[in-house]
Structure 1
Amino acid sequence: MAMAVLSAAVVVLITIILALFLRKWRKLGNDVKGLPKGSVGLPWVGETMEFMSYFSTSDPEPFVNNRVAKYGKVFKSHLFGKPTIISADAEFNKFVMQNDKRLFNMGYPTSFAEILGTYDMLMVNGELHKKMRGYAMTFLTSKKLQDYLLNDIDSYVLLALSTWKGRVVNVQDEAKAYTFRVVAKQLISFGPGEESDSLMKEYYQLFDGIFSLPLKIPGSTYAKAVQARGRILKRLTQVIDSRKSLEKDDHKDLLATVFSTEMRPEDRMSNEQIMDYFLGLLSAGHVSTATAVLFAIAFLTDSPKALNQLREENLAIKRNQKGERLSWEAYKNSMPFTLDVIYETLRLTNVSHGLYRTAIEDIQYQGYTIPKGWTVLAYARAVHLDGDIYEDPFAFNPWRWKTMSPTMNNFMVFGGGPRQCAGYELAKLEIAMFLHHLVTKFSWKPVEQDKMVYFPTVRMIKGLPIVVEDLINAAD
């Protein structure tokens, strides 16, 4: 009898504790005056599973759209283990980007840091971030793009396209290979071939785990990603040690810039920092560009009018220049519609759904309070697909950019403020050069219907298979 009473008491106690916990969880942040309305979802899990489930479909919009309709463009949630303010408001997002390093630090999910590394550029703040960005900006000057990288990229485009004629091409795989080979060459001087391709395979296993739940269960996506990270770091260690042993390093890559004797000793990074830095750059430097190449081809396939105008612009360049290579002058001065296609592709694709930041202190803005330590997700998709900013926002319409300019108010593809992507000019050059050679050499047709999904990255389910043939009388 006593045991039964004791057991019942324990059950009642546990029930009371859980009820109190649930009540406290649901009221998370409610004592903060001005906290945006919203829901924090289930205990511990928050709304993460629902968020991820929408991104695993071809229509991720309802997660944010439903909440915007209920709570407004700025609302609270709980994602990836952190209380989060999600903003679908362009002005709010601009405020966040402009106040990077002053009011906000980086705030990406824990899985990012554990997979990409503590010293990845997405994770670091302050002087270390400034130093890392400085290395990239030193390497990616306009002069280096013009004098060195242009011809290098051109060669990689021609190499990629050399096998396309007369076969079924999986555009997604080919775009990944092209952009990864370019970035591996520019960062650590890996040439095209088995070494580069082997490293790329490890990267895509690693990348699949970035937005997964950080559970190190054997065989899970996250566990496989952590293992891939270890193998990549082992290879990078070999490269770094080998290069450090050289009496004179004649390479023209970013690693040479980092090792340059012109850098002050206090500006140099530790081996651990260098490895995380390059691991992150190898990922960031090609994933977005590969996705843009893929979807530019997908959108152009469905828009004959845009494809014809793009082809006419690039055939005119080809007729007016000597040789097969695209000149810097032509890229800068004769490709306005090509750049419009690139901007529109990036706007619609939304390779990164948003920017994650953490409030350094309690912040007041537009009547809202952002509590110290909370994550802010500046949700880029909502801005890029906002009908108040873009007419018919889900339509592929590169002509809209004739009267619009990609500013921080409406175009968050490359971020903004002090953390704007250092490689955005290189990315545009890679995409423009690929499209130039593709549309002036080939025509193509889709093999079968395909569709977009968004998790763990934006991609086509079947990889966009196409059949490629020579473009008849292309140079006439």
Structure 2
Amino acid sequence: MAMAMAVLWAAVVVLITILALFLRKWRNQGNDVKGLPKGCVGLPWVGETMEFMSYFSTSDPEPFVNKRVAKYGKVFKSHLFGKPTIISADAEFNKFVMQNDQKLFNMGYPTSFTEILGTYDMLMVNGELHKKMRGYAMTFLNSKKLQDYLLNDIDSYALLVLSTWKGRVVNVQDEARAYTFRVVAKQLISLGPGEACDSLMKEYYHLLNGIFSLPLKIPGSTYAKAVQDLLATVFSNETRPEDRMTNEQIMDYFLGLLSAGHISTATVLVYAIAFLTDSPKALNQLRKSEVCFPGTCVSVRPTGLIYSFHNKLERLLMLMSGPELQEENLAIKSNLKGQRLSWNDYKNSMPFTLDVIYETLRLTNISHGLYRTPIEDIKYQGYTIPKGWTVLAYSRAVHLDGVIYEDPLAFNPLRWKTMSPTINNFVVFGGGPRQCAGYELAKLEIAMFLHHLVTKFSWAPVEQDRKVYFPIVRMIKGLPIVVKDLKLPLS
């Protein structure tokens, strides 16, 4: 009996020793690398993943990174999604990562992302395959194609959606997704609005909810027909053999374009409307921008966002040319005299509309960051980034950095009158060879929808709503609003 107890205690001691050695090795992983950023790797196997995800299930994911930046600096180590990870909240470091994509870094998204998006989603692939896929996307999404072929469709689809809004409670999130889905379906497979398009959208959202293969295996289904359309029109026999893609690659590519082409844009549109709902002065300026300067008298009411920025706003307005800001959407509508919006209206007559879009993009942060994997050990800014680790260029932190943006949590489109959306401080569309191919389409869709919305309607929230960031950025209740005809005050 005594011997058995001794053996048992010996086994316990050995087990504890092994566990202690394992924990020590886990906590010290990479510490033999000179220049490795400071940080914590969290629990064995799990790392800090659970804490990271828990914050993204709330309306405020910032504390995860902010606490670590305060303790370790803007570049620190962690362990996320099963891999040792370097997280950067530093704008210059993130710029370096993007500019060296496919040179020093390859794509490095977690396995779980790949399983959801597909192995051959354009976001996941590297090298020549990515260049080929992006080239195909650019044939759809370049400015000339938008101007010559899609502009009128976008205008029509925006009016079609808004034609049903007056006098009822609207779920903005659902309506925005329907609008942007119709645009991308027309762009990709020449499928106009109607029952077939709505059926495709319904099956697509079934797919997103976890039914990954069923819609694709039903002969004659809308989804199957859409894929056949894609095969026939985009990757036809006229395509050079070396440029053709396999069916699996086409499927992932198609699903990726559907997702990137409408969910992200719809989300930004929802948040733009949400921010404008809470910012009546910004909404007023979006409709009509006129202002009095000190010492001059331009006959209308003052506008602009007042977030205790009175002095800053006054200085800003004095820097702008002329005594009067350019009138925006109501002036455009008046000049159209019943005609359609033109490319020139979008590019040259909507400066504040674009500022609203930029500010919404900055605050919304559809993608929290970019995941990359170093091809080799990399030294930068005194840090060593080990080969095979994950690098998370955390763009949220850059967009909400108080050093770059004054009062960074405030919705203040006027900040873009003196700032430029450059890769140093504004990476909502990525950068380098992986910059979003559809960024111009997204801005165009949002600008045209906002133009028609703010010149036709007024609206008010039905109930309080809040945003969450997991699994995607969204409003919990879909942003319900009640819509009425716009009644302008007499001038």
TM-score (norm 2): 0.87
Q: How much does 1:384 deviate?
A: 0.3
Alignment partner, residue 234 of structure 2: 258
1:297 alignment partner in structure 2: 273
Give the counterpart letter for 2:425 in structure 1: N
Shift in Å at residue 200 of structure 1?
Answer: 3.4
Q: Retained in 2: the 8 A contact 1:292–1:345?
A: yes
For 2:332, which of 317, 334, 341 is the aligned residue? 317
2:214 to 222, 231, 235: 231
Are 1:360 and 1:373, in contact at CA under 8 Å, matched by a contact in 2?
Answer: yes
Contact 1:362–1:369 (8 Å) recurs in 2: yes
Shift in alpha-carbon separation, 1:425–1:35, aligned structure 2, 3 A = same
The answer on whether the counterparts of 1:295 and 1:349 sit within 8 Å (CA) in structure 2 is: yes
Name the CA shift for 1:472/1:419 in 2 (closer, same or farther; >3 Å).
Answer: same
1:140 is displaced (CA, Å) by 1.5
Report the Cα distance in structure 2 between the residues aligned to 1:475 and 1:263, rounded to whole angstroms. 60
Residues 75-109 of structure 1, C-alpha deviations (whole Å, 9 max, x = no match):
00011111110000000000000000000001111
Structure 2 CA distance, aligned partners of 1:371 and 1:204?
39
In structure 2, the partner of 1:428 is 443
Give the equivalent residue in structure 2 for 1:363.
378
Q: Give the match's secondary structure for 2:212.
A: helix
Report the equivalent of 2:83: 82
Indicate which of 295, 308, 311 corresponds to 2:284.
308
For residue 211 of structure 1, what is the aligned residue in structure 2? none
Q: Verify: 1:464 aligned to 2:465, yes or no.
A: no
RMSD: 2.3
Does the aligned pair in 2 maintain the 1:318–1:475 contact within 8 Å?
no
Amino acid at match of 1:100: D
* Distance apart, 1:447 and its partner CA: 1.1
Amino acid corresponding to residue 274 of structure 2 in structure 1: A
1:376, distance to aligned residue in structure 2 (A): 0.6
Give the match for residue 25 of structure 2: 24
CA distance in 2, matches of 1:289, 1:84: 29
> Does the Cα contact within 8 Å between 2:359 and 2:413 map onto a contact in 1?
yes
SS in 2 for 1:35: coil
Unaligned runs of 5+ in 1: 208-223, 246-250
Question: CA offset at residue 197 of structure 1?
Answer: 3.6
What residue number does 1:131 align with? 132
Cα 1:85–1:257 change in 2 (3 A) is: farther
Aligned position for 1:216: none
Given that residues 218 and 224 in structure 2 are in contact (C-alpha distance below 8 angstroms), is that contact kept between their aligned partners in structure 1?
Answer: no
* Amino acid across the alignment from 1:54: Y
Distance of 1:372 and 1:113 partners within structure 2: 20
Same amino acid, percent of matched pairs: 82
Corresponding residue for residue 68 of structure 2 = 67
Match of 2:368 among 340, 353, 359: 353
After TM superposition, list the pairs within 5 Å mapping 1:408-447 onto structure 2.
408-447=423-462
Counterpart in the other structure of 2:465: 450
Cα distance change, pair 233–457 in 1 and its aligned pair in 2 (3 A): same
Match of 1:287 among 250, 263, 287: 263
What is the CA deviation profile of residues 428-462 of structure 1, one whole-angstrom value per residue up to 9, with x for unaligned ones?
01101110111111110111222222211222222
The answer for the alignment partner of 2:410 in structure 1 is 395
Q: Where do residues 333-344 of structure 1 align in structure 2 (5 Å cutoff)?
A: 333-344=348-359
Residue 48 (structure 2) aligns with: 47
Q: Report if the CA contact (8 A) 1:440-1:474 is conserved.
A: no
Separation (CA, whole Å) in 1 of partners of 2:412 and 2:219: 42
The SS at the match of 2:256 is helix
- Give the 3 Å change call, closer, same or farther, for CA 117–475 of structure 1 in structure 2: farther
* Alpha-carbon contact 1:452-1:461 (below 8 Å) kept: yes
What amino acid is the match of 1:466? Answer: I
CA offsets 1:314-344 (integer angstroms, 9 cap, x no match): 1111111242521111111111111010000
1:382 aligns with 2:397: yes
Q: CA deviation at 1:141?
A: 2.0
| Alpha-carbon offset, residue 142 of structure 1 | 1.6
TM-score (norm 1): 0.90
Answer with 1 or 2: which has the greater Rg: 2
Q: Can you list the C-alpha shifts for 1:171-196, whole angstroms capped at 9, x where unaligned?
A: 11111221122212222233334444
Match of 1:115 in 2: 116
| SS of aligned partner of 2:136 | helix
Equivalent residue number for residue 97 of structure 1: 98
CA distance in 1 between partners of 2:30 and 2:449 (Å):
49
Cα distance change of structure 1 residues 46 and 398 upon mapping to structure 2, 3 Å threshold: same
Structure 2 CA distance, aligned partners of 1:391 and 1:411?
14
Alignment check: 8 A CA contact 2:106 2:373 kept: yes
1:176 aligned to 2:152? no
The one-letter amino acid paired with 1:425 is: E
CA distance in 2, matches of 1:126, 1:277: 15
Residue type matched to 2:260 in 1? A
Which AA in structure 2 matches 1:136? A
What code does the residue aligned with 1:449 have?
Q
The Cα offsets for residues 366-418 of structure 1, whole Å up to 9 and x where unpaired, read as 00000001111110110000011111111111111111110000001000000
1:210 match: none
Q: Take 1:194 and 1:42, find their aligned partners in 2: how far apart are those partners? A: 51
Residue 421 of structure 2 is aligned with which of 391, 394, 406? 406
Structure 2 Cα separation of the partners of residues 24 and 198 of structure 1: 53
Aligned residues of 1:160 and 1:174 also touching (Cα < 8 A)? yes
State the 1:239 CA deviation.
Answer: 7.0
Moved more, 176-185 or 231-240: 231-240
Tell me if structure 2 keeps the 8 A contact 1:203–1:283.
no
Q: What is the alpha-carbon distance in structure 2 between the residues aligned to residue 206 and residue 353 of structure 1? A: 23
Query: How many Å apart are 1:240 and its aligned residue?
Result: 8.9
Tell me, yes or no, if the aligned pair for 1:348 and 1:394 is still in contact at 8 Å.
Answer: yes
